[in-house]
Amino acid sequence: MAGYVLENATVATMTDGYGLIESAALVVEDGIISWIGKSDELLEKFVQYPSENLDGRLITPALIDCHTHIVHGGDRAREFEMRLEGASYEEVARAGGGIVSTVSATRGASDAQLLESALARVDHLIAEGVATIEIKSGYGLDIETELAMLRTARAIADMRDVRVRTSFLGAHAVPPEYKDRPDAYIDDVCIPALEAARAQGLADAVDGFCEGIAFLPEQIERVLRRAQELGLPVKLHAEQLSNLGGAKLAARYGALSADHLEYLDADGVAAMKAAGSVAVMLPGAFYTLRETQIPPIDLFRAQGVGMAVATDCNPGSSPLTSLLLAMNMACTLFRMTPEEALAGATREAARALGLEDTGTIAPGKKAELAVWDIEHPAELSYRIGYNPLCRRIVGDLS
């Protein structure tokens, strides 16, 4: 393939703030952005390329959903009803519902069923301009099913034009057969499954759920240590329902991100800043669980901790397959600005995944673009339940 030019567009490069360029042209060669600037300054050598007039539409980096549990069996609509009848998320979990019920459904699903149900959700994200999706394991909680989840996640990238980054989340919940024996679960299942995932090239990162209803910091640390020995980057579900110092622990392991963070304190923010960890905001879970304490957005801003925004797509606390809605919620519920929300679903999401070749529009980055039928990028966060995507461009023009 040679190259092409996109002309007559407004481009939000997201390199620094929106980085808006009006009446812009963008040149792609061999799937890589090679030039971006004003149309009337387009270099002579690019004029030979086929060009497409975008009629003033807005181009942004393709969106990145950097935290999902999109591969899983079953659903939890009944649990949703229970919560509406008054049960809390923790009560549902302690009563054998919650994560563990999805574990049964996931173990009971065939690989084909897991793939098919995940693809239906993935297609919703793609339809909104998403080109990279992070997908976690964590509903298998036995070696075989954890690996099956990760294989399914990899298979999605073969079935759709989307990049998938996998995170091993064996330390997500204690399965029923290890009830009250979380340490034995970590030794017998979680660490061996992590090693197998690493050996089979199925894990790009390692995650955990550090919480009273899941694993304590000492248990999480054993997993993070093994990940580090295996050369895998780490991230962590931390401070979602209480403050156990999870983000600080993850920061000691150079975490790419700490996620949720509603109960994070100033100390934790400082530790994240020092480690360069991204704060992944998951307003879909906050909304679904009707949380009231918002993450320390002002402290992240003051300290310069990057904020990403993701769906947390999962069957329990965030049955959400719209990253645009997550961006709207990040603004309305967390008081992030539309500019921060868009950076959160592009540049900062890329950082949260350790990806350097996507998330902004600049020479050398991959051509992973979203073209929108809107004039200003704030519209992406402003509308609720409206999808203004015109097209996604990944590599070639199609």
**255 exposure class (CB count in 10 Å sphere: 0-12, 13-18, 19+):** buried
Looking at 52-60, 174-182, 311-319, 352-360, which segment touches Fe ion (CB under 5 A)?
A: 311-319
**110 exposure class (CB count in 10 Å sphere: 0-12, 13-18, 19+):** exposed
Q: Closest separation between CB of residue 2 and ligand DI6, Å? A: 45
The candidate with the shortest Cα–Cα distance to 97, out of 85, 80, 109, 79, is: 79
Q: Which residue is nearest to ligand DI6 (CB)?
A: 316
Say what angle helices 143-159 and 99-108 make with each other, to 10 degrees: 70
Cβ closest to ligand DI6, residue 240 vs residue 277 = 240
Binding ligand DI6 by CB under 6 A: which of 39, 51, 60, 314?
314
| Close Cβ partners of 280 (under 8 Å, ≥ 6 residues apart) | 66, 67, 235, 257, 258, 259, 260, 261, 307, 308, 309, 310, 349, 352
Binding ligand DI6 by CB under 6 A: which of 182, 315, 319, 338?
315
Contact between residue 189 and residue 178 where contact means Cβ atoms under 8 Å apart: yes
| Close Cβ partners of 292 (under 8 Å, ≥ 6 residues apart) | none
Binding ligand DI6 by CB under 6 A: which of 3, 19, 129, 316?
316
Q: Closest separation between CB of residue 374 and ligand DI6, Å? A: 30
The DSSP bridge partners found for residue 63 are: 130
| Type of residue found at 267 | D
Looking at 9-17, 24-32, 310-318, 321-329, which segment touches ligand DI6 (CB under 6 A)?
A: 310-318
From the list ligand DI6, Fe ion, none, partner contacted by residue 219 (C-beta under 5 to 8 A by kind): none
Count the residues of the shown chain that bind ligand DI6, applying the rule CB under 6 A.
Answer: 14
Is 319 a binding residue for ligand DI6 by CB under 6 A? The answer is no
Binding Fe ion by CB under 5 A: which of 134, 312, 348, 368?
312
Binding ligand DI6 by CB under 6 A: which of 312, 340, 348, 368?
312
Report helix, strand or coil for 31. coil
Which contiguous run of DSSP H or E holds residue 206? strand 205-210
Could you give the CA distance from residue 336 to residue 341 in angstroms, rounded to a whole number?
6
Cβ closest to Fe ion, residue 56 vs residue 212 = 212
Is 129 a binding residue for ligand DI6 by CB under 6 A? The answer is no
Contact between residue 200 and residue 147 where contact means Cβ atoms under 8 Å apart: yes
Looking at 13-21, 98-106, 192-200, 382-390, which segment touches ligand DI6 (CB under 6 A)?
A: 98-106
From the list ligand DI6, Fe ion, none, partner contacted by residue 185 (C-beta under 5 to 8 A by kind): none
Beta 257-260 vs 278-281: how paired, if at all?
parallel
Is 99 a binding residue for ligand DI6 by CB under 6 A? The answer is yes
Cβ closest to Fe ion, residue 135 vs residue 393 = 135
Cβ closest to ligand DI6, residue 170 vs residue 316 = 316
Q: Which residues bind ligand DI6 (CB under 6 A)?
A: 98-99, 102, 172, 209, 237, 240, 285, 312, 314-318
Q: Which residues bind Fe ion (CB under 5 A)?
A: 312
